[in-house]
Amino acid sequence: DTEVTQTPKHLVMGMTNKKSLKCEQHMGHRAMYWYKQKAKKPPELMFVYSYEKLSINESVPSRFSPECPNSSLLNLHLHALQPEDSALYLCASSQDFSRDTQYFGPGTRLTVL
Amino acid sequence: QKEVEQNSGPLSVPEGAIASLNCTYSDRGSQSFFWYRQYSGKSPELIMFIYSNGDKEDGRFTAQLNKASQYVSLLIRDSQPSDSATYLCAVTRAAGNKLTFGGGTRVLVKP
């Protein structure tokens, strides 16, 4: 089973709201990723967690705050977002942070008003 | 020069024909190569991965890797309308698993 789940599927929020995106996998993977994808563009890496520790932060603005509570869960906390942050947010996981296949979740479509 | 380059398309192929997609990469340290399919509004779905020079076949899909020439290709045989999607080429270096994506090739299979 190569399933990564994400909730919610869709999220509409105002610029003053605080919300969270959730990602879960039960494949025993030890690396988890957050990507952002704008329309007609490839996914852009935001964060990487390896063994529950933040390994990579691709200079993402502080209004995005990742959290890895345990090896199966990954959250992305959102605060004071801008309309240009509207995008598809994708979570992925892989066995570990080496050369290993990444499996993507279905994504959360975020709209910031 | 972009790190991973693909022709954006659209690549229009008749149903039943072979679709040929190409991807070039600039980093000679690249070790792992992936093809993902992405339908409009959906997330990327892994189709193939290849690590070694040569061909790798899986059903109607064949990935080809030539590290000396720094390209990887994907062939889709007996193309079906359901193959109409954007195909993303992605590459990682030896150390770490940071995927670098190409811009994607849009494929349109016409009945």
More confident residue, B99 or A98: B99
- Which residues of A lie closer than 8 Å to B, measured between beta carbons? 2, 31, 41-43, 45, 48, 56, 88, 90, 94, 96-107, 109
Q: Which two tokens stand for residue A59?
A: 């200079």
A57: chain B residues, CB-CB within 8 Å: none
* Residue whose C-alpha is closest to residue B90's, from A39, A99, A10: A99
Contact between A22 and A32 under an 8 Å Cβ cutoff? The reply is no
CB contacts under 8 A, B 13-72 vs A, are 31-32, 34, 36, 41-46, 49, 51
* Distance of alpha carbon B21 from alpha carbon B5, whole angstroms: 11
Q: Which two tokens stand for residue A55?
A: 């390994």
Nearest Cα of chain B lies from the Cα of A93 at a distance, in angstroms, of 11
Nearest Cα of chain A lies from the Cα of B96 at a distance, in angstroms, of 5
> What band does B97 get if pLDDT is binned at 50, 70 and 90?
confident
pLDDT at residue B93, as a whole number? 79
Q: What is the pLDDT of residues B2-52, one digit of tens each?
A: 799 999 999 999 999 999 999 999 999 898 999 999 999 999 999 999 999
pLDDT at residue A96, as a whole number? 81
> What band does A100 get if pLDDT is binned at 50, 70 and 90?
confident
CA angle (A57 as vertex; A55, A58 as ends), nearest 5: 135
pLDDT at residue B96, as a whole number? 66
For every residue of chain A, DSSP letters joined together read: ---EEEE-SEEEE-TT-EEEEEEEE-S---EEEEEEE-TTS--EEEEEEETTEEEEE-S--TTEEEEEEETTEEEEEEES--GGG-EEEEEEEESSSSS---EE---EEEEE-
pLDDT at A97 over 80: no
Q: Report the share of chain B in percent with pLDDT over 90.
A: 86
Q: Which residue of A has its CA nearest to B8?
A: A40
Q: What is the pLDDT of residues A22-63, one digit of tens each?
A: 999 989 999 999 999 999 999 999 999 999 999 989 999 999
